[in-house]
Amino acid sequence: MPAIKAVTVFGGAASGLDPVCRETALALGRGLARAGITVIFGGGSIGMMGAVADGALGEGGEVIGIIPDFLARREIAHTSVSEMIVTDSMHSRKRRMFELSDAFVTLPGGLGTLDETFEMITWRQLDLHSKPIIICDAGGWAGPFLALIEALIAQGFAPDHARGLYEVLGSAEAVVARLSELPAIEEATAVSRL
């Protein structure tokens, strides 16, 4: 069993235009299931979210969806997951995702995906946790995101060590290999300060 037992995967409610994005989401789900790592995700059946869940479920993996009640219809809640947790707000959803996972992986996505990823990065910047954050750069999606962070560092708005708050890997296979070798997080997480 890997030390990392459960991973929250953030990703778009759309699949994007480049087919490699959806293929990567499916491959990530499959790879996590084969590695015995539980997939936690936004609970929708559509886009990148649905693909990562479908990939894991197809390999018999454990998949936990976490969705706010108001989004369950709009994002067509997945009906085949191992467990669906319904929350009363976006904030309680994000907090529950945070509590249940040992690490975070970002797949290509839109504004919601950026919000979720930046929140995990900024919580780490504030030393509220030290859980690994991996950005999967499928199809070059992460380029502008990383360039934005570089611009913030160059302008003196983010510290140089901001680059060390996350890792960037190019494929689903590389992400699963990295998660499989990561050690367990030892320290208690400051959930009460979130």
Residue of 75, 106, 158, 179 interacting with ligand AMP (CB under 6 A): 75
**Contact with ligand AMP (CB under 6 A) among 5, 6, 14, 170:** 14
Return the range that interacts with ligand AMP (CB under 6 A); candidates 12-20, 80-88, 135-143, 165-173. 12-20
Give the residue ranges of DSSP H helices in the chain.
19-34, 47-58, 90-100, 111-125, 143-154, 172-181
Q: Smaller CB distance to ligand AMP: residue 112 or 139?
A: 112
**Residue among 9, 13, 21, 53 that touches ligand AMP (CB under 6 A):** 13
Q: How many CB atoms lie within 10 A of CB 185?
A: 15
Is 19 exposed, middle or buried, given 0-12, 13-18 or 19+ CB atoms closer than 10 A?
Answer: exposed
Q: Is 17 in the site for ligand AMP (CB under 6 A)?
A: no
Contact at 8 Å (CB) between 20 and 46?
Answer: no
90 belongs to the binding site for ligand AMP (CB under 6 A)? yes
Residue in the shown chain whose Cβ atom is closest to ligand AMP: 112
Task: Between 114 and 182, name the residue whose CB sits nearer to ligand AMP.
Answer: 114
Spatial contact of 116 and 148, defined as CB atoms under 8 Å apart: no
